[in-house]
Amino acid sequence: MSAFASPEDLPAPAGYSHVVTISPGPLVWTSGQIAVAPDGSVPEGWEAQTRLVFAHLGRALQAGGATWRDVVKLTFWLVDLAGLPAVRAVRDEHIDATAPPTSSLVQVAGLVRPELLLEVEAVAAPR
């Protein structure tokens, strides 16, 4: 079982929880997922890349026996914070907005391929 919280004496979070407490049980960790399709192509634009990344994450979570509802932590690496509104919009289509996971966001100079805009990894605690 997981408990999600955002204490009132911390700044109000924008779509994430400040803390998640997890009872003993399995954890599922994904590798960072990028927007490379099985054929090696990379879609253009923030929304298209984010949708592909979240599709990859969903399949990885499923392979580990977890769902989006089980996600307790997301880590984002973005090459430009201008893409954050699109990333958040797609994220919000997948997570449980009533108990959003904890989150970290890092702006980076680049990723493994120059056309990539973001990388995301997840940690889940299947319920």
Give me the pLDDT at residue 25, please. 86
Give me the pLDDT at residue 2, please. 79
CB 32 within 8 A of CB 76: no
Question: To 10 degrees, the CA torsion angle through 9, 85, 101, 41?
Answer: -160
91, two tokens: 């994220």
CB 36 within 8 A of CB 69: no
Residues of the chain falling short of pLDDT 50: none
Give me the pLDDT at residue 22, please. 84
Give me the pLDDT at residue 23, please. 82
